[in-house]
Structure 1
């Protein structure tokens, strides 16, 4: 099979497209013929050695896949050869075949496109865990989503609406905000041209958002947290801007607010049954038309370096996917 490998840390152009032996499953694993593998911002950080997880070299990036099961390892009973599935593989997605843990792999309904299904495990899994488990978001509450046009951001917008919240989407361009409105956002803030705190004060009548979903970090974190409602929850999802913010803890005291970490990968590992329950809820919402991953770009396997450069350059909205069988 063909797969892109990171043989040394560096930029996307230095990844190598190599021919590797076809994989075989160990106990508790399945082999998936990969039809779609979404890009995620950690893919860019990982190949440059800037992510918290540093795999042993060489490795194949790509954290999630969708495709067809071609082999089943010992002890796997809920999946069989020929099943259409999606999975969180952590590594190995940018390849024609991937090894997947069976407990992180779930069947896809026939009507679900592989690219849309592949976006569920990480982006939608993260946002579902954040809003269902960590924030316990309720109908009628106000949710602020920063970086709302990205993969996890749009997922949070859609899930927030599915839960009955009022959703304020914040992003850096009017074009991105229009995409957020098309995906259910009630109100929008362009934080390149508007003052975030003033806009939030106006939109919420001075109350502030009950829940803040922040996958961006950097300079937006403090003004967002200063705007949070009394008793609010600030979800620390990631640091796409690159800078890890240092929040003044007196703000948490003054607002009676909580700073809540969201580490979906560790959650999925520690509580796979709850994670699968969240994914089944997502599939239910998808069937009801409440959740639909937005696929902005599709790339062939040979285009992985360019796709990662587009991701690093903030040119990707929603989800972009690699389609290795093209």
Structure 2
């Protein structure tokens, strides 16, 4: 089978021919159709992600495909079933042996491209806004990096949950995508004063931040009393230091959030979230935004779209030939 592997850190992926894996105890073998790319994949390539497997390894955090074989002890899935999965690695290969526990059956209505764009982006935003921040109808949600893979889902879900959504993104084209996803107010991070505009709109009750840096600082100073801040990534490259005195004076809450961590500490948080999200998808309430679909052998070009911030929403690699 073909696979795109990391053979050296901070270097382009290498297309390799590998032996097809076999499913072990509690695993299934997936014939991979599509793989969704994420900002975390860029960190993995650089060797700065929280998980660092031995070289060489196959990149790709999430995948969608069809089960072709079952390992011993797997009873809740069947051969021929279509699933999506968050695996952390192995998505950029034609086959993957993965734990049955991380597989999420997908409905007939969901395309393979949508399925590969679904779990991490929507799952991250839904758990952050619903489970962690307890976003309420009528509250004002400020989304930084709003045109990105997870940011755009935060805009969409925030609107669906009844919030007034302020989207911050770079440039008119990206803001237009945010508007289409449901944003009520748009802020251009290249030219606008985030703090001043948010305060003029009435202040933020919840801040969703995958960016960090100066944008986080501006957002924090535009928060209403008792607002909740969710730092969940640092695309700017700067991890903000949160002044405790501002938390104290304004009764703010900073919520640490690592979506993938719930797979180990409380997996029901993820499974409950997926069940709700898939219901919304089938009902036509969610529409994944995929800006680019790229073949496996061009995965390096696909990653460059993320690295250079030329994509909106998700970039999906088409693995099946």
- TM-score category by the smaller chain? over 0.9
Match of residue 278 from structure 1: 273
C-alpha distance in structure 1 between counterparts of 2:45 and 2:147, whole Å: 24
Q: Any idea what the Cα deviations from partners look like across 1:145-174, whole Å, max 9, x if unmatched?
A: 000000100111111112111111111111
- Which whole-Å deviations, capped at 9, do the CAs of 1:238-268 have from their partners, x for residues lacking one? 0111111112121111110011011011112
State how far apart, in whole Å, the 2-side matches of 1:149 and 1:100 are: 31
User: Is this contact kept in 2: 1:37–1:323, CA < 8 A?
Assistant: yes
Q: CA deviation at 1:193?
A: 0.9
1:222 paired with 2:217, answer: yes
- Alignment correspondent of 2:241: 246
Rounded Cα–Cα distance in structure 2 between residues aligned with 1:173 and 1:234: 24
Cα distance in structure 2, aligned partners of 1:286 and 1:322 = 21
Q: Secondary structure at the match of 2:316?
A: strand
Cα distance in 1 between the residues matched to 2:192 and 2:252: 25
What SS does structure 1 have at the residue aligned with 2:242?
coil
**DSSP 3-state at the match of 1:122:** helix
Give SS of 1:281's match.
Answer: helix
Give CA-to-partner distance per residue, 1:177-209, whole Å, 9 cap, x none.
1101101111111121110011101122xxx11
Map of 1:6 onto structure 2: 6
Contact kept? 2:229, 2:253, Cα under 8 Å: yes
Alpha-carbon distance in 1 for matches of 2:215, 2:120: 23
Structure 2 Cα separation of the partners of residues 172 and 10 of structure 1:
26
Match of residue 305 from structure 1 = 300
Shift of 1:129: 1.0
Distance in 2, Cα, partners of 1:78 & 1:280 = 16
Query: How much has 1:16 moved relative to structure 2?
Result: 1.1
Match of 1:166 in 2: 164
Greater shift, 163-172 or 284-293, is seen at: 284-293
Residue 321 of structure 1 aligns to a residue whose secondary structure is strand
Counterpart in 2 of 1:36? 34
TM-score normalised over the length of structure 1: 0.96
1:86-119 Cα deviation digits (max 9, x unpaired): 0001100111112222111111111101111112
Deviates more, 1:241-250 or 1:126-135: 241-250
Q: Aligned partners of 1:272 and 1:71: how far apart in 2? A: 24
In structure 2, the partner of 1:175 is: 173
In structure 2, the residue matched to 1:131 is 129
Within 5 Å, give how 1:201-220 maps onto structure 2. Answer: 201-204=199-202, 208-220=203-215
Q: Counterpart in 2 of 1:84? A: 82
Are 2:40 and 2:49, in contact at CA under 8 Å, matched by a contact in 1?
yes
1:149 aligns to 2:121 (yes or no): no
Structure 2 distance, partners of 1:298, 1:182, is 20
Q: TM-score, normalized by length of structure 2?
A: 0.97
Secondary structure of 1:71's aligned partner: strand
Structure 1: segments with no counterpart, 5+ residues: none
1:111 to 109, 112, 116: 109
Give 1:274 shift.
2.5
Q: For structure 2, which runs of at least 5 residues remain unmatched after alignment?
A: none
Is the Cα–Cα contact under 8 Å of residues 162 and 285 in structure 1 kept in the other structure? no
2:313 aligned with 1:315, yes or no? no
- Quick one: distance in 1 between partners of 2:11 and 2:43? 9
- Asked if the contact 1:221–1:247 (Cα under 8 Å) also holds between the matched residues in 2, the reply is no
